[in-house]
Amino acid sequence: MNRNCILILTAFLLTASIAKGCSRLQEDDQHKLKRNPFKQPFSSASIWNMPIGSEAVYLHAGIERAMAKGMTIDEDLIVLTPYAPQTEIFTNYAGWNRNKNRCKPEGDLLFSAPIPDDFVVSPETWDGLTPNSGLAVLMPDGRTIKQTQPFARCKAGEPATSQYMFGDEDLYGEGYYGAHGGSGLSAIGGALRVGELLQESGPIQHVLKVNLYGQKNFYFDYETKGFRWPAKAADSYAEKNYGKARTQPVVKECRMGALLALPPSINLDSLGFETTPGRRLAEAFRDYGAYIVDDTAWDVYALVTEWGPDGRVKDEFEEAWGFFIDPGSKDTPWSRDMDRIFLNLHVVVNNSAGSIGGGGKPRKPLAPPISP
């Protein structure tokens, strides 16, 4: 073999070896990136990622039909932009008083966080008069999540305001707790995320969050204090409020922090869903369930959804499906689908720290592990 042939053969073998090595690296990277921690955070065993188990024990939640509106949402503000400019967040004392202004700094600096200058949360952009506005923001280290409530930033590029702070969480940890004031549960875990309920989206692969009308649906006694694991608390007004607008006894297990689910004994086809997103949500309620995290404080159901620099579920839902996620009328296909879900929800009564989702074989595979 002459010298030129040897050089050509050597180059060919080297190229093949490099290509094979790159292919292996790509496969390794794909394996590592099966789960995007920004889109589905926290450990595989977190309450927000654990499917319902085969040993789950179900009890009908007895949720009464919501009458004030077809459906509502509670928007969690999720800002995962650790390299954005630092925004100062000052104390404001308006809280949920609709006669006061959340926009104006009134006290000390709470903290600074990386938030894009054009992310505005104001009376002109938020949903309702006094939304919960729980903020979960990722800090520059790429893993510390700070949470506060109720967040406002009324003009682009200006400082923001809030009032209550909660303990830090690790994006790669369990992530149970945060800025849902009623329950003390996370403002990022369990939220319906941008891109998860589009026509081309696959199944939802995590636990959800809901709010219910406490006066009709939440149980309180002096032993339980109106909440159950994993919630840390109930609303401060629980004793005088929970269950007071109901003539029939409230189901004792239906408390703040309860895990709600559609039992597999219910044939979803038999419920007659009229919309594709309604049916898809029902599948998520069956396979993963949803935690009660707050009181709506009026006679509605609420699904907790994302709003952040990546977009807003409220807007993309309307664009994708041609109707509102929060219609006023009860007489729409989507509203009727929400009744089909909420009126059939059961409490997983044996959900606990030792048997998340009720224990046994999970209905779906566990979420792939993640690491920084």
Query: pLDDT digit string (tens) for 180-190?
Result: 999 999 999 99
* Bridge partner residues of 304 (DSSP): 74
Q: Per-residue pLDDT for 291 more than 60?
A: yes
Looking at residues 44-57, what average pLDDT do you find?
98
pLDDT score of 20: 41
pLDDT score of 271: 98
Question: For residues 227 and 275, what is the distance between their CA atoms, to the nearest angstrom?
Answer: 33
pLDDT score of 9: 43
Of the chain, the percentage scoring pLDDT greater than 90 comes to 89
Angle, alpha carbons 312-74-37 (nearest 5°): 55
Q: Per-residue pLDDT for 256 more than 60?
A: yes
Local structure of 57: helix, strand or coil: coil
pLDDT score of 371: 83
pLDDT score of 29: 43
Rounding to the nearest 10 degrees, give the CA dihedral for residues 244, 245, 248, 251.
-60
- pLDDT tens digits for 67-99? 999 999 999 999 999 999 999 999 999 999 999
Looking at residues 207-231, what average pLDDT do you find?
98
Q: What is the mean pLDDT of the chain?
A: 92
Task: Identify the CA nearest to 102 among candidates 77, 138, 82, 78.
Answer: 77
Of residues 339 and 25, the one with the higher pLDDT is 339
Q: Per-residue pLDDT for 14 more than 60?
A: no
pLDDT score of 372: 81
pLDDT score of 12: 42
Of residues 248 and 137, the one with the higher pLDDT is 137
pLDDT score of 294: 98
Number of Cβ within a 10 Å radius of residue 328: 12
Lowest mean pLDDT of 7-21, 25-39, 348-362, name the range: 7-21
Q: Per-residue pLDDT for 21 more than 60?
A: no
pTM: 0.91
Looking at residues 303-313, what average pLDDT do you find?
97
Question: For residues 30 and 79, what is the distance between their CA atoms, to the nearest angstrom?
Answer: 25
pLDDT score of 247: 84
pLDDT score of 13: 41
